[in-house]
């Protein structure tokens, strides 16, 4: 497995990972009418723009040159937290046929290592409340809900909960 920083020309592969993972992971959470609008073309263009403008820090993990997972990290975007002390895992997505092979664990650990090396004390991430598998995964990784939540409109009103992990040493 090769882990590296994503480049603009990775946009088609990133879009495939993102869309394929959403289509399966959120099938029972987000209405089909919304998921059908979540297309390769739209996601590819969004990745191209974000990577070209350096708006996000995205990494890709490959198996035999095939993108099988993506990780996006950065400073925390939440106004109630100190972005100089709190990093954020903006997203972790893995193609479904690579689920439960340790790739999610590796991506989260890589993200934690990079954020910790930048001096962040804590890491947060957001998870849909109805996504029990993702919540369980992050809890196993040492994250816990910190009490914050927000609503999202993804074809219906959904609640996201914020998870937090302290990474600063004693």
| CATH number of the CATH domain containing 24 | 3.40.630.30
**For residue 62, what are the domain limits?**
2-125
Instruction: Inform me whether the pLDDT recorded for 54 exceeds 90.
Output: no
The answer to whether position 153 is within a domain reads no
pTM over 0.85: yes
The answer to whether position 42 is within a domain reads yes
Q: Are 78 and 148 in contact (CB under 8 A)?
A: yes
Q: Residue 70: exposed, middle, or buried by beta-carbon count in 10 A (0-12, 13-18, 19+)?
A: buried
When divided into structural domains, the chain yields a total of 1
- DSSP alpha helix (H) spans, 26-71: 32-35, 40-52
Confidence of residue 138 (pLDDT cuts 50, 70, 90): very high
Residue 46's nearest CA partner among 91, 88, 12 is: 12
**Which pLDDT belongs to residue 170?**
56
């Amino acid at each position: 497995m090769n882990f590296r920083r994503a480049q603009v020309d990775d946009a088609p592969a990133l879009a495939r990972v993102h869309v394929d993972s959403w289509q399966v992971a959120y099938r029972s959470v987000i209405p089909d009418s919304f998921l059908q609008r979540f297309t390769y073309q739209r996601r590819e263009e969004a990745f191209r723009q974000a990577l070209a403008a350096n708006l996000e820090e995205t990494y890709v993990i490959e198996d035999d040159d095939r993108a099988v997972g993506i990780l996006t990290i950065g400073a925390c975007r939440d106004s109630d937290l100190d972005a100089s002390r709190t990093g954020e895992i903006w997203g972790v997505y893995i193609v479904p046929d690579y689920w439960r092979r340790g790739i999610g664990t590796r991506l989260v650990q890589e993200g934690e290592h990079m954020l910790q090396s930048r001096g962040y004390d804590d890491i947060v991430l957001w998870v849909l409340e109805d996504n029990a598998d993702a919540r369980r995964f992050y809890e196993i990784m040492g994250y816990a809900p910190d009490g914050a939540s927000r609503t999202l409109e993804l074809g219906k009103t959904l609640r996201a909960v914020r998870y937090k992990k302290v990474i600063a040493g004693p």
